[in-house]
Structure 1
Amino acid sequence: MQKMLAMSMIALIIMLSIFIQIKGNDLAPIPSSAAPEPQSDNQFFLDPLTCIHDVKTIPKCMDAVLHFRFKQVTKKCCYVLLSLPESCFGVLFPIPYVYHLLLKAACKYHHYY
């Protein structure tokens, strides 16, 4: 129970530290010289189904990670999720950097990865 509480506290601290880092004034208008250029038609767009194809083959993998139940994450789940491209991690998880960091720590703790 204490380990679960500790993992939850670590997750909350990491999420809080990410959210409080503010770079500049978010409400200021973007100068016209810094406006993003239109994306080309050849831009690669991720298909969410491609990202979750391998993950879906492992029962309860995504559910365990999404709900911070890292004791239920298996070796195969660790391997598949941590081998995904970063862009897929952003499709699968609401805060990809936090989930990636916590999953990597949990998998190393269990000597899976």
Structure 2
Amino acid sequence: MGVFIVTFIRVFAEFFRVVVVIPRWDHRLKDPESVAFAILDVLADFESEGKLKNLPKSKKFPVKTILAILLFKQYYNLPLRDAQHYGRKFFGANIHYSTLHNWE
């Protein structure tokens, strides 16, 4: 689980490096769909560099999807039930909020 936390922090930091480049008045920072795509782009870069290999495995859902939903939750400071809803809407995975809580 420690590897997951370290990877989460690295991906979160890289995501905010991408977000900082965007001017604050740009609509992409307020549009949840754009933020979700930015998170997926950062995760795709991490995956192509092989930085997501050592993560613990999930039996039912890809760890990349869980990581994306938790990043989205942290970015918008959402409760877990809302993160479950947005995970279904933007990331195509209906991950129960208790599962997200276990990974948090």
Which range, TM-score by smaller chain?
0.3 to 0.5
Give me the TM-score of the superposition, normalised by structure 1: 0.30
Higher helix share: 2
Give me the TM-score of the superposition, normalised by structure 2: 0.32
